Amino acid sequence: MIKNAPPKKQTPIFTYWDTFVKKYSRRGRSQLTIRNTKDALNFAIRHLDIKTIEACNDHLVLEDKLYEAKEKYGWKGSTFNSYLKNLKTYFIWLEQQEYIEENKLKKIPRCADELNEQPVLSEAQIKIIIAQLHTRRQRTLERLRNVFFIDILRLTGARPSELLSMRVEDIRPNKNSFQVVIRGKKQKGRIRYYNMPSWARDSYIAYMQFRKTLKNRDDDDSLFISQSNKKGWTQKGMRNLFRRLSKELGFRITAYCFRRFAATYLNEKGVGLDKIQDYLGHTRASTTKRYIARTGKLTQQGVDVIAEVFRS
């Protein structure tokens, strides 16, 4: 150790946060991305004991601590990657603004998940979820929001990030109902439009009418808002809902289960792959194929053809 060496600089992790929010918003970036980045930084402080920019930018230490958290909390690789991605968002910006010389987080590789069959909800399970949302113990805002959220999710099969970033103006009057506008994730996908069926229209009207009665609410035009602060609902809040529903109902529920249901159901009903691709907002048909469950129904036609060849 060098004698009388100057102490290593320690900058609190949120030192440049307000500037980050201002400049990141100015570029037209998603408010959801900003909220998720903040959640990741708070997680680093509270659960990884990383409180400074310098400590977080030590990629060797951060990688070890993230893997320790993965083991402790039973994360899947996708959860590990989400925290890493959100932390990288902040440090990429810090490097661009020259607050740090180098963003070392880019040296941390993504965590690979085992290739397991992804869960797909059945039509019956979705009906059970809807019934549970109407009867479970929860506050009025939570019940109305959750029912409407699931209605839009089962209608569109949209990505959860797309739904959580929706604004009030993304629901537009359309003849006797309303039109849902889903904006593609980042640069991927085009804007998609869905006309609301009556069940989604009714849950939307009930939710918005109750929202008008709320007091002490900031002017936040997020379509889905939280019970605690009446601001935009977060990924964490949504995941907590699905985790509790999974425990209550005894089967696994995630937002992407609904997306896979939409792809699989449309495929089983004979909708072409190109149309399913447009419906889900995929840029490549190969991605859409991965969302279609590999069930017996999808392969039965091929089985019948092969079986006919060897019929005795």
Give SS3 for 260.
Answer: helix
Determine the pLDDT at residue 147. 97
pLDDT computed for residue 189 by the predictor: 53
pLDDT given for residue 261 in this prediction: 92
pLDDT over 70 for what percent of the chain?
89
pLDDT at residue 297 above 80? no
> Is residue 6 left, alpha or beta, with left meaning phi > 0 and alpha meaning psi from -120 to 50?
beta
Other beta carbons within 10 Å of 101: 9
Domains of the chain (ranges; CATH) run 17-107 (no CATH), 123-259 (1.10.443.10)
DSSP summary character for residue 192: E
Check residue 141 and give its pLDDT: 94
Which residue has tokens 């869960």? 119
pLDDT score at 187: 46
Residue in the block written with tokens 């929010």 = 21
Three-class DSSP category at 178 = strand
Calculate Rg over the CA atoms of the chain: 23
Question: How many whole angstroms separate alpha carbon 286 and alpha carbon 243?
Answer: 29
Q: Tell whether the model's pLDDT for residue 90 goes beyond 80.
A: yes
Band the pLDDT of 206: cuts 50, 70, 90.
Answer: very high
pLDDT in tens, 98-108: 999 999 999 99
Q: Which segment of 145-149, 184-188, 242-246, 274-278 scores lowest on mean pLDDT?
A: 184-188
Which of these ranges, 136-145, 222-231, 258-267, 285-294, has the smallest mean pLDDT? 285-294
- What is residue 116's predicted lDDT score, i.e. its pLDDT? 58
Q: What is the largest CA-CA distance in the chain?
A: 91
The band of 1, judged by pLDDT with boundaries at 50, 70 and 90, is very low
φ, ψ of residue 182 in degrees (nearest 5) = -110, 125
Q: What is residue 28's predicted lDDT score, i.e. its pLDDT? A: 72
Tally of residues, the chain? 312
CB contact at 8 A, 112 and 244: no
Q: Which pLDDT score, from 0 to 100, does residue 200 have?
A: 95
